A and B are shown apart, each in its own frame.
Chain A
C-alpha cells in the first residue's frame, strides 16, 4: 500500500509539475514599444488536429 500511495503521489506530482508556478501572475513590469501586425481572426478549436503523415507507398 505504501508503494501504491507513493505511486499516486508521484503521478500527482507529475501532473502538478506542469502547473508549478501556475497561480495567475501578472507581469511585474510591462513596456509596450510597438503594436504587432494585423490581428488574428480564427476562433479556438477551429483548427483541430491535422493529418500529419503521408500514406505509405505500397512498396512491400
Chain B
C-alpha cells in the first residue's frame, strides 16, 4: 500500500487544540471538589493512587506516578490503558500518545490493561457516548458538563471500547495530559533533589537532564518522589513539530505476543490454583426464538456421555458441564427440548420486511417521527422537473468475531462473603461486572473482572448476555466453569445489526440539482445523524422514522446506523446523479453544502488516486461514496469488473480525513479492515428468519469475503488539522457497500437496491 499523507496540522491549529486541552484541564481541576477528576488522581496518601498501586503497580520496584503511568526499577515505563485491545491497536497508539508527552524511551515502554475499576472511567469518553453534542460546549457550561458526565460515567459503568473513540477521547483528553503531567512531576522531584529550578531540567528518552551541573538520571530514580509532587491537571502539551512518537507508524505492542502465541484472550483464561486439565467447561443452548424459554428437556442420553458432570435447565437456556468443551458440546447435542411459544407475529424474513413496509406505508408522505426537516420536501417534489422514487433494504447481520463467545466464571463463598471472578473478552468490563453482580444478587465490589485481549468484537462484546449465563451456571455448580458458545449458538442466538427498509422520493430541478429529498425508514439507533444527508445542500429535506416491530434484538454493529444509512443515502445520491446525467463524483462535489472543505478534500483526493477521470474498459466501472462518521470524513472509490456477469472487485481507493492521524500504519490497518468488513456485508452478509429463528448457522452459510475476492486497497490519509480529531475503526465500513453498488451500476447498468449483492448474480 502506498503511503500518501498530506499537510501536517498547522501550528495555529495545534495551538487551538492545546488551548482547548488547557481549558479542559482547568475544568478538571475545578471539579475536584465535587469528587470528579479529569485525569483521575491526586497523589496524596489515601487518594486513588494509593488504592490503585496495589492493583496496578504491585511489582518489586514499581512506582505509580499517576493513575496512568508507572515506572519500574529498570526504567521501563508502563502506560495503563483503559480501553480493551481487540485487534484495533488502541493499546499501542494510546501508549504512543502518553509516551510522547512523557518523553519516554519508546524502546522501554510497555502496556498494561487497566483493571475494571471506576477510577479508569474517562470522563470525556463517557461524555462522547452519552451526549457527543456537548463535546464542544461553551466554556461557561463546561464545568457542569464535566462534573455531570463524570458522575454519569461512574453510575452507568461507562468504561467502553467502541464508537471509534479511544484516540479522540481517551488519547487526546487523558493519555497525553497524563503523560505530560507525569513528566512535570518527575522534573519537580529531580529539581528538589538537585536543588535547581525546574526550568533548567530537560527530558529525553526517559532521562532527566540538568545540563548546567552535568547531572542526569533515569526516570526510575525519581518515580517514587514524583508521586508525591503536585500534579498539574493542565500541563503544556507538545506542539506537533515536537512530536517524536505521535504521527509516526510505530509498531504495535501487542503483535509480538500474538505472533509468538503468548497472548492471552478471554478464551485462554486460566484460574489460579486450577490445573487446566481439572477445569470444567460448559456448553450452552438457548431457546431458538428470541423471548422464548426452555419448558422441558430430555437429557437421558446426555447423562451417559463421557465426561459429563452436570446438566442444567436454566430456564432461558440449557447448559451441560463436562470435563472438556468437546464432551460438553457433544452431550448437549443429544438433549432434546421443548420451548415456549413466541408471541412475535414475525416468523420469516418476509414477515419482517412486510412489517417494515407496513409501517412505512402507514406513515405516508409526512407521518412518522421527524428526524430532520428543512423547507417543504413534499411541495418541492410535486414541482420537480425530474422525479425519483426508490426503495432500499438491508438485512439483519451477525457480528461473527473470530474468538467464540466465552466467559469463565467462579462463584464461591469466602470468609469475606460470596465472591465472583470472571474472565472474559468484553468491550465493557464494568458493565460486565454489574451484569454479573445483578445476576448473582451480589454487590459490584464482590465481583472481579479479568479482561484480556479480545479476538474481535465489532460490537458483539458490548453485550453481557453471555456473562450472566456463565455466572449463573457457575453459581449453580459451585465450582469454576469455562463457558464457550459454539459458532452456531452465536450465529443464531445473539443480538444483531437490524434489518431495515428505506424509501425515498427525490426531485431534481431543471438543472439537475436535487432540491427535494423525502426519506422514511424504520430503524434509528446510533449515531443520531447517520440518517441525515447533512453534507449535501438540498433545499427541501424531510427524514422520518416509522415505528416498526423488530424481531431480533438490536446490537451495535461496526459503524452502527451508518452501515445501513450509508448504503441507502449514497445509493440514492448516485441515482440522482444519474438522473441528472452528471458524473457521480462531480455531482457530489456540486451538491456539497456549507462547512464541507474536508468533504471536498477527500473527494478530490480519491478522484486523484483512483484516476477517476480515466475511462475504464467495457464492463468495468467505478463507484464512489462519501460518508462522515465518528468524526472522520471518508470517500471511497471501488473499481469492479462485470464482464463475467458477476462482480469482481479489482481495486478500492479510500481518502480519509480524521484531522490528525496518530499512527498512520495503525490507521491504515483499520481503514483496510473496515473496508473488507463492509464489503463482506455488501456481498454476502445476511441473517434470515425461519419459524422465528435464525436460519444461518456457521461460516458456510454466513460467508466472509475470501482472500482471492478481496480487492487491492489503497488508503490516502489527509491530516487537515481538524480539531477534534476523528475515529479510525468504523468510518471506512459504511462507504464500501454504496461504492460497490454504484460501481456495479456504472459497469453494468444494474442498480442494486437490496443487500447483500452476491446472490443477485447467482
Contacts and interface: CB of A to CB of B under 8 A. Distances in A.
A37 B281 CA distance: 12
Contact of B323 (A36, A41, A57): A36
Interface stretch (B234-242, B439-447, B711-719): B439-447
Interface string A24-53: 111111111111111111111111111111
B226 to A, nearest CB: 21
Chain B interface mostly: mixed
A10 B132 CA distance: 12
Nearest to B305: A33
Contacts of A33: 303, 308-311
Interface in B424-440: 428, 431-432, 434-435, 438-440
B452 interface: yes
Contacts of A12: 156
A58 B472 CA distance: 47
A19 B275 contact: no
B91 A42 contact: no
B312 A40 contact: no
B526 A42 contact: no
A52 B464 contact: no
A21 B323 CA distance: 28
Contact of A28 (B315, B414, B431, B434): B315
A33 B479 CA distance: 14
Nearest to B157: A15
A4 to B, nearest CB: 6
B362 interface: no
B684 interface: no
Given A18-B434, A31-B299, A36-B280, A51 B476 contact: no
Contact of B272 (A17, A30, A42, A56): A42
A17 B312 contact: no
B341 interface: no
B457 interface: no
Given A8-B130, A27-B312, A43-B419, A55 B115 contact: no
A3 B133 contact: yes
A36 B314 contact: no
B56 interface: yes
Contacts of B428: 18
B114 interface: yes
B172 interface: no
B167 interface: no
A44 B465 CA distance: 22
Nearest to B321: A36
A17 to B, nearest CB: 6
B432 A3 contact: no
Given A27-B314, A49-B114, A52-B453, A7 B131 contact: yes
B448 interface: yes
A49 B115 contact: yes
Contacts of B464: 17-19
A54 to B, nearest CB: 4
B110 A51 contact: yes
Contacts of B749: none
B142 to A, nearest CB: 16
Instruction: Name, among A10, A22, A29, the residue most crowded by chain B CB atoms within 10 Å (CB to CB).
Output: A22
A38 B275 contact: yes
Given A36-B479, A52-B264, A54-B253, A42 B273 contact: yes
Given A31-B303, A39-B479, A52-B111, A15 B438 contact: no
B254 interface: yes
Nearest to B110: A55
A38 B280 CA distance: 10
B468 interface: yes
Given A11-B152, A42-B272, A60-B250, A24 B479 contact: no
A48 B117 CA distance: 11
A8 to B, nearest CB: 6
Interface string B112-123: 111100000000
A27 B294 CA distance: 11
A56 B252 CA distance: 8
Contact of A25 (B271, B309, B314): B314
Given A36-B278, A40-B274, A11 B312 contact: no
B272 A47 contact: yes
A18 B464 CA distance: 4
A21 B316 contact: yes
B467 interface: yes
B106 interface: yes
A59 B300 CA distance: 61
Interface string B470-481: 001000110110
Contact of A57 (B85, B107, B410): B107
Contacts of A41: 272-273
Contacts of B468: 18-22
B58 A25 contact: no
A23 to B, nearest CB: 8
Contacts of A15: 156-158, 431, 434
Given A8-B152, A11-B156, A32-B310, A44 B299 contact: no
A48 B131 CA distance: 33
A22 B465 CA distance: 9
Given A10-B526, A52-B264, A60-B250, A31 B311 contact: yes
A30 B208 CA distance: 63
Contact of B476 (A22, A27, A45): A27
B391 interface: no
Contacts of A57: 107, 256
Contacts of B260: 54
B108 interface: yes
Contacts of A18: 428, 431-432, 434-435, 463-465, 467-468
Interface in B49-102: 55-56, 58, 76, 78, 85, 91
B287 to A, nearest CB: 12
Nearest first, the 3 A-B pairs at minimum CB distance are A37-B278, A18-B464, A58-B107
18 contacts: A7-B131, A15-B157, A17-B463, A18-B428, A25-B439, A27-B313, A28-B313, A30-B312, A30-B476, A36-B309, A36-B321, A37-B277, A43-B414, A44-B421, A48-B55, A48-B115, A54-B262, A55-B76
